[in-house]
Structure 1
Amino acid sequence: MVTRRLCYACDLVDNPELISEYKHYHSREETWPEITKSIKDSGIIDMEIYILANRLFMIMEVDESYTPERKQMMDAANPKVQEWERLMWQFQQAPPGAKEGEKWLPMEQIYKLE
């Protein structure tokens, strides 16, 4: 199986209470099972999210079936994912350079240890 690594950034509203609540929603016990299923069904094999202050960094390992466009279409057709996204927007804010409605932006790799 061929895999690729993709990295994205997103910002949170700079409010300690909201950041704490956002972290709570992403704990293993609180993440909705429908969201985990939708992630896996889209071709995402592994995902990690890290935080520094109010900046989020996401690393995804994806298989050959994954495309951002396909994931977007799947999410748009899934009412539970849409509910989750509406909930997350109260915590998230678009990072610099985002277009209307964007929140997770792809990052450009500038270095790799060989």
Structure 2
Amino acid sequence: MKQFILFLDLKNDPELIREYEKYHEPIPEEIKMSILESGIESMKMFRFENRLCMEIIANESFSFAKKEELDTNNPKVQAWENLMSSYQKLIPGTPEGTKWVLAKNIFSLKS
């Protein structure tokens, strides 16, 4: 299994944040299926103020390149991403062409 932690900001507007959360209660079935078909087995999103954190647990077949290719060829996912972009704000330093930024693991404690 692979684990990824990513970050993204929302526009700092309480009404837009409420709307964004509402769209995720639950997400459309087509979007859920596209996530699962990419090899993602679990996805969680957390919010503090306007900062989002997403945890992805994926199987060994998952790659961000594969996910991007599947998404590019799926009009439903493209429409969803365009809609979500109206609520999202890039974190400074985000590479061009991406929204969510991958966190670097700097500490891990195991017993």
Which TM-score band (shorter chain)? over 0.9
1:93 Cα deviation from its structure 2 partner: 1.0
Asked if 1:32 is matched to 2:23, the reply is no
Q: 1:13 aligns with which of 11, 14, 21?
A: 11
Q: 1:88 aligns with which of 84, 99, 105?
A: 84
Identity of aligned residues (%): 40
Task: Tell me the secondary structure at the aligned position of residue 97 of structure 1.
Answer: coil
CA deviation profile, 1:8-45 (whole Å, cap 9, x unmatched): 000000000000000000112xx110000000000000
Unaligned runs of 5+ in 2: none
User: How many equivalent residue pairs?
Assistant: 110
Task: Tell me the secondary structure at the aligned position of residue 110 of structure 1.
Answer: coil
Q: Which amino acid aligns with 2:68?
A: Q
- 1:61 matched to which residue of 2? 57
Asked if 1:72 is matched to 2:68, the reply is yes
Distance 2:11 2:97 in 1: 15
Superposition TM-score, scaled by structure 1 size: 0.94
1:99 Cα deviation from its structure 2 partner: 2.6
Q: Which amino acid aligns with 1:72?
A: E
Superposition TM-score, scaled by structure 2 size: 0.96
Unaligned runs of 5+ in 1: none
Q: Which consecutive segments of 4 or more residues in structure 1 shift more than 3 A?
A: none
Distance 1:93 1:69 in 2: 22
Asked if 1:112 is matched to 2:108, the reply is yes
- Whether the aligned pair in 2 keeps the contact of 1:11 and 1:103 (CA below 8 Å) is no
